[in-house]
Structure 1
Amino acid sequence: MERQEMAERIRRIIADNLDVAVPDVLKEEDRLSEDLNLDSIMVLQLAVYLEESFGVSIPEEEVDPSVFSTVSSLIDFIGTLQEVGAVNG
């Protein structure tokens, strides 16, 4: 899946499931907390929605601020999980 497609899927997840306004197009440099106004609870909710949408399993110990800092870091993290086969079974 292309990075742009992943960013669009993340945008839809945030727009459809979290009570925040998101731009029509997410840029990879967009910061989840500062630019998109996601708080810590929303980040945990987002992790659950990402697991469902991308078919991956996010280990609890992997949920740290660096992974959820920007759209780009989130795309990289999801890509890594998909590569290593951390899929939901």
Structure 2
Amino acid sequence: MMDRQAIAEGLRKIISEDLDVAVPDRLEQELRLYEDLNLDSIMVLQLAVYIEEVFEVSIPEEEVDPAVFETVGSLTGFILRLQGVGAGER
């Protein structure tokens, strides 16, 4: 399982390369996706798709709470939970 730092680095790479958004070299956990990183709702939907591919998780639609996509930290925690759930099913 990945740690928070590895996930944050993966998110930084997705946001900067796949979504083509300028981001700091290191994504701090408290950075807000909308306000600080200037993502919009379409980008967040794209981000969800990339997260499923890159982190090999499945995001259940009923679990997608807007709060999950509030900050880097909330999103990182969500990915960690998804990886923990998925690990027992393999």
TM-score (normalizing by structure 1): 0.91
Letter of the 1:34 counterpart: E
CA deviation digits over 1:24-71, x for unaligned, max 9?
Answer: 110000000000000000000000000000000001222221000000
- Alignment partner, residue 43 of structure 1: 44
CA distance in 2, matches of 1:27, 1:69: 13
- Alignment partner, residue 2 of structure 1: 3
- Alignment partner, residue 74 of structure 1: 75
- Alignment partner, residue 55 of structure 1: 56
CA distance in 1, matches of 2:82, 2:3: 15
Structure 2: 5+ residue stretches without partners? none
Letter of the 1:78 counterpart: I
Moved over 3 A (4+): none
Give % identity: 70
- Alignment partner, residue 28 of structure 1: 29
Structure having the higher helix fraction is 2
Higher relative contact order (CA 8 A, sep 6+): 2
RMSD: 1.5
